[in-house]
C-alpha cells in the first residue's frame, strides 16, 4: 500500500493517534513490534500558530518511528494551513487532519468530529492543508455526526477530490463516542466505491488478530489502524502480523519481557516530558501491560497512586520476583 510516496507493506497496521498515550516513547515500542506507521498525539492548530510549548513539543519524534504522521486539528482553514506548514518543518512523512475526535473539549470549539456537521468547512480546511505542504496529507474521520447523517461515502469522495493521499475511517458516528459496536459496513462501501482511488484504512474495535483478518477479508480495506487495543499492549502488532502471514496465534510476552518493555516505556516517557506528567499518563497503560497477571490487584492500586519513578521501578522488580517460575 502507498500513501503518496510512502511505501507500506501489504495489509499494513497503523498506530492511531491517542491523546496522552501515543507519545514518542510508546510509538517507538509499537514500531519495534511491527507497526507499519505511527501517528502523533493530535496537535491543536491554534496551539501551533500561537507557538505554545506543549503543542510544539508534540512535533518531536525519533527517526526510528518513520514513517510517522503528525496529526493536527482545528476549525479555521487559515490556522490549519499555517499549522500544516509548521508541522511540515518538523520533517514528518505525512500530515494527518483530525476530523474524527468526538470529545467535548474539541467538538465544542468546532474541531474534530464537529466538522462532520459542516462539510463545506471540512473541505475548505482540507484544501488549505493539501495546498500548503509538499507532503502526503491524510484525513481521519468517522461515519458521520449521528445515525441520521452517516454520509461518509459522499464525504470520502469530496475529500479525495481535495488531494488527500488516504482516508482513515473510524466505524462509529460522533454521537456514539466509543460506545456500541464499530460498524465496518460503510467503511467497506467507501473502499468498494469505484470512484475511490486512494487507500481506505479502517479503524475501530480491532482488538485481536482474528478480528483484523476478518476486516481485511470481509471489507477489503487497504490497511487497519489500531488504537485503544494497543494501550499497554504494543505487541498486538506482532501478534496480528504473525496471524495474517501464517495463521498462527501467539501469546503475549512472558513477564520478563512485559516488565522490560513497561520499564523502558516509563523511563523514556519521563525523559521526554518529566516525571510528574509521565507517571500520570503511564497509568493508562498498566492494565494492558499486566493483563492476566495473577494477584495483580494490590500492585495495580500502588501503580495508580505512586508518584515517584524510583517507587514504581522498585515495584516492577517486586512484581517480577513474585512471578518468576
Q: In the structure grid, which three cell numbers stand for residue 311, read together?
A: 517507587
- For residues 234 and 24, is the Cβ–Cβ distance under 8 A? no
Which residues have a Cβ under 8 Å from the Cβ of 307 and sit 6 or more positions away? 276, 279
Which residues have a Cβ under 8 Å from the Cβ of 55 and sit 6 or more positions away? 43, 44, 47, 48
Q: In the structure grid, which three cell numbers stand for residue 256, read together?
A: 520478563
39: which strand partners? Answer: 69
- 323 vs 259: CA distance, rounded Å: 11
Using the structure block, give the residue that is written with the C-alpha cell 516525571. Answer: 275
Q: Phi then psi for 281, rounded to 5 degrees?
A: -70, -30
Exposure of 304 in the CB half-sphere (CA atoms within 13 A): 10
Give yes or no: 101 in active site.
yes
Helices (H), the chain: 24-32, 45-49, 53-57, 77-88, 104-107, 119-132, 152-161, 185-191, 209-219, 236-246, 255-273, 275-282, 286-289, 297-303, 309-322
Which of 103, 80, 91 has the alpha carbon at shortest distance from 162? Answer: 80
* Cβ atoms < 10 Å from Cβ of 299: 17
* Residue among 30, 101, 162, 262 flagged as catalytic: 101
Which residues have a Cβ under 8 Å from the Cβ of 325 and sit 6 or more positions away? none
Helices (H), 98-176: 104-107, 119-132, 152-161
Q: In the structure grid, which three cell numbers stand for residue 30, read together?
A: 509499537
**Hey, which residues are catalytic here?**
101
Amino acid at each position: 500500500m502507498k500513501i503518496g510516496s510512502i511505501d507500506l507493506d501489504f495489509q499494513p497496521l497503523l498506530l492511531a493517534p491517542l491523546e496522552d498515550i501515543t507519545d514518542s516513547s510508546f510509538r517507538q515500542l509499537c514500531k519495534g513490534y511491527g507497526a507499519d506507521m505511527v501517528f502523533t498525539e493530535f496537535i491543536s492548530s491554534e496551539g501551533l500558530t500561537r507557538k505554545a510549548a506543549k503543542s510544539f513539543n508534540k512535533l518531536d519524534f525519533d527517526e526510528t518511528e518513520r514513517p510517522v504522521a503528525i496529526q493536527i486539528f482545528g476549525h479555521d482553514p487559515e490556522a490549519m494551513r499555517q499549522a500544516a506548514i509548521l508541522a511540515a518543518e518538523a520533517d514528518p512523512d505525512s500530515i494527518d487532519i483530525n476530523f474524527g475526535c468526538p470529545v467535548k473539549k474539541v467538538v465544542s470549539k468546532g474541531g474534530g468530529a464537529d466538522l462532520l456537521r459542516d462539510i463545506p468547512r471540512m473541505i475548505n480546511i482540507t484544501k488549505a492543508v493539501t495546498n500548503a505542504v509538499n507532503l502526503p496529507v491524510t484525513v481521519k474521520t468517522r461515519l458521520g455526526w449521528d445515525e441520521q447523517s452517516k454520509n461518509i461515502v459522499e464525504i470520502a469522495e469530496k475529500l479525495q477530490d481535495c488531494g488527500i493521499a488516504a482516508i482513515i475511517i473510524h466505524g462509529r458516528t460522533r454521537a456514539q463516542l466509543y460506545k456500541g459496536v464499530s460498524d465496518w459496513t460503510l467503511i467497506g462501501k467507501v473502499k468498494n466505491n469505484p470512484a475511490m482511488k486512494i487507500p481506505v484504512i479502517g479503524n475501530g474495535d480491532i482488538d485481536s488478530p482474528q478480528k483484523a483478518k476478518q476486516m481485511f477479508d470481509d471489507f477489503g480495506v487497504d490497511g487497519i489502524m489500531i488504537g485503544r487495543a494497543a494501550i499497554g499492549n504494543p505487541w498486538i502488532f506482532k501478534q496480528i502480523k504473525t496471524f495474517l502471514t501464517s495463521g498462527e496465534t501467539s501469546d503475549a510476552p512472558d513477564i520478563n519481557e512485559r516488565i522490560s518493555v513497561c520499564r523502558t516505556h516509563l523511563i523514556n516517557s519521563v525523559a521526554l516530558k518529566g516525571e510528574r506528567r509521565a507517571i500520570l499518563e503511564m497509568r493508562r497503560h498498566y492494565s494492558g501491560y499486566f493483563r492476566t497477571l495473577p494477584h495483580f490487584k494490590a500492585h495495580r492500586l500502588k501503580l495508580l497512586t505512586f508518584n515517584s519513578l524510583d517507587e514504581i521501578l522498585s515495584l516492577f522488580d517486586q512484581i517480577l520476583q513474585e512471578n518468576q517460575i
